[in-house]
């Protein structure tokens, strides 16, 4: 079955969501820990917010992760479906 035939099936999108959403959450948490682990563990969430989300930084922070998670979810779902 081709990729275009697979994406027409509702089960494809259900499986895609099961892969992409947890992957996005894990990548986001790991990224936050790598960028601001000392601020997170000290409880200084204003510093975490300033370093990652203020002044439009949230677009770069989440943008790459959304695109990466989408492609990863499509790839894995396409690979696993028959």
Instruction: Provide the residue range defining the domain that includes 10.
Output: 3-80
Section 19-37 average pLDDT: 96
Section 77-81 average pLDDT: 93
User: 13: which residues sit within 8 A by CB, 6+ positions away?
Assistant: 7
Alpha-carbon span 12 to 32, nearest angstrom: 30
Domain count along the chain: 1
The structure tokens listed for 7 are: 């994406």
Q: What is the pLDDT of residue 81?
A: 87
User: 76: which residues sit within 8 A by CB, 6+ positions away?
Assistant: 19
Alpha-carbon span 67 to 60, nearest angstrom: 11
The structure tokens listed for 70 are: 């989408």
Q: In this model, does residue 82 exceed pLDDT 90?
A: no
């Amino acid at each position: 079955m081709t990729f275009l035939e697979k994406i027409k099936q509702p089960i494809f999108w259900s499986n895609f969501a099961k892969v992409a959403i947890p992957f996005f959450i894990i990548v986001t948490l790991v990224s936050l820990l790598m960028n601001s682990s000392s601020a997170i563990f000290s409880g200084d969430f204003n510093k975490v917010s300033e370093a990652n989300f203020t002044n439009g930084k949230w677009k770069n922070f989440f943008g790459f992760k959304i695109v990466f998670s989408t492609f990863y979810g499509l790839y894995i779902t396409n690979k696993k479906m028959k």
